[in-house]
Amino acid sequence: MGLHWRRLLPLLLGLLLDPWGTGSFPLEPCRTCRDLASSFLKGLERTERENFGGGNTAWEEEKLAKYAHSETRLLEVLESVCGKLDFACHQLLEQSEDHVESWWFQGQQRHPDFFQWLCMDTLKVCCPPGTYGSDCLPCAGGHQQPCSGNGKCDGEGTRTGTGLCMCSLGYGGSFCSECADGYYEAARNESHLICAECYRACGRCSGPEDSSCLRCKRGWALHEHRCIDIDECGTEMAHCRANQFCVNTEGSYECRDCAKACVGCMGAGPARCKRCNKGYQRDGAKCLDMDECATAQEPVCTRAHEVCENTDGSYRCVCAEGHVRRDGECVEDKPPDTPAKGFFDEVTEDEVVVLQQMFFGVVICALATLAAKGDMVFTAIFIGAVAAMAGYWLSERSDRVLDGFLKGR
């Protein structure tokens, strides 16, 4: 039976994506084979009575017996063994297809454990529990209870690994049969060991109490079976950088920065300075900020329109009030000069309407005067109309009109 085309497509896709097989497949083939065998057995369970149920029982039993060991059922199982993108499974299935067919048609009765037959005995990618490596040698501590049951054997159940023990937390030794540092034997019999944690300062102990210490962790000193914290700061065991001070902690110490006012210090704050930093001066026990602006005998800011402003530990030169810095110079803060506006620059729309009314009034009065041929009555009416309209318009703008006349606009 050739490889079914439906299972060939995912494998071809995997080869296209990773033609050299460098990143598509896991490094541990035993796990791939184990998953394949598990999926194969699930497929057998799923197809055990598939498409049967109800009707002629005798006929069904006859057909079911033929289907149970048929090539049709095997194909149905194999088509769903591997996921669509599980390239490692498809590759392994392609390599082992003939073996699977042989087991299906000839070896089921003699080898009922499909996983052991395929992965251990035939493909030789897995080992029995408690063994490791190409020859399936016993793990450290023996194959019955590797690593004393307190750790994992490197490569157990596979054809890889070193067989050495990787102990669980609290356990140590080549076979994980001892308690690690910081743990003590809480219980032990011929087959099991239980390790519990010591008091936090103990490196080795005989019990959980702080008085059960046999050896101390680093930063502690043993005194009458108790671990006492070592003051590294007081014993000059600490190593802090210049302009730092030491703070003792349980089992260790910390280095913290001195205050800005200090050059060297014995603790936190400006009162613990060894010497005062530049820009500070001693005031009693403290190093306080020096006001360079107030104490200088000569002005420290000498450029035009500059004043001195004190800062913490120093000072800076800023522009005097009413001035801003432009192009490195302090200049007066005022808007740029603009040309003066003429009399008619600010005339509003309402004022334009009034001017139009005055103009037409003057024209009408002039026409009336001419029609009266210089009659004094009409001349008086004309002059009065002009004066009334001019007074009406100038009543709200007298100041601006006068200012405009005086400026010649």
114-164 per-position pLDDT tens digit: 999 999 999 999 999 999 999 999 999 999 999 999 999 999 999 999 999
Q: Is 376 exposed, middle or buried (0-12, 13-18, 19+ CB in 10 A)?
A: exposed
Using only C-alpha atoms, the chain has a radius of gyration, in whole angstroms, of 51
Q: How far apart are the first and last CA of the chain?
A: 113
Judged by DSSP in three states, 267 sits in coil
Q: Which CATH superfamily is domain 293-332 in?
A: Laminin (2.10.25.10)
Residue 43 half-sphere exposure toward CB, CA atoms < 13 A? 19
Domain ranges of the chain: 5-122, 131-197, 256-290, 293-332
Residue 396: φ, ψ to 5°: -95, -10
Per the CB < 8 A criterion, the answer to whether 306 and 330 are in contact is: yes
What pLDDT was estimated at residue 236?
80
Q: What sign does the dihedral 67-70-71-75 (CA atoms) show?
A: positive
Judged by DSSP in three states, 151 sits in strand
Per the CB < 8 A criterion, the answer to whether 32 and 105 are in contact is: no
Sorted by sequence, the CB contacts under 8 Å of residue 291 that are 6+ apart come out as: 310, 315
pLDDT band (50, 70, 90) for residue 297: confident
Please tell me whether the overall predicted TM-score, pTM, comes out greater than 0.75 for this model. Answer: no
Query: pLDDT tens digits for 240-276?
Result: 999 999 999 999 999 999 999 999 999 999 999 999 9
Residue position matching structure tokens 């190093």: 287
Residues in a beta bridge with 229: 220
Query: pLDDT tens digits for 329-383?
Result: 999 988 766 665 655 566 666 666 666 666 666 666 666 665 555 555 556 565 6
Per the CB < 8 A criterion, the answer to whether 282 and 249 are in contact is: no
Euclidean distance between CA atoms 310 and 4, whole angstroms = 87
What pLDDT was estimated at residue 13?
44
Q: Is 295 exposed, middle or buried (0-12, 13-18, 19+ CB in 10 A)?
A: exposed
Per the CB < 8 A criterion, the answer to whether 272 and 283 are in contact is: no
Judged by DSSP in three states, 271 sits in helix
- For residue 24, the 8-state DSSP code is S
Query: pLDDT tens digits for 45-96?
Result: 998 866 555 444 554 556 666 888 889 999 999 999 999 888 999 999 999 9
Residue 257: φ, ψ to 5°: -75, 145
Per the CB < 8 A criterion, the answer to whether 217 and 211 are in contact is: no
Element (H, E) at 386: helix 376-394
Euclidean distance between CA atoms 76 and 83, whole angstroms = 14
Per the CB < 8 A criterion, the answer to whether 382 and 366 are in contact is: yes
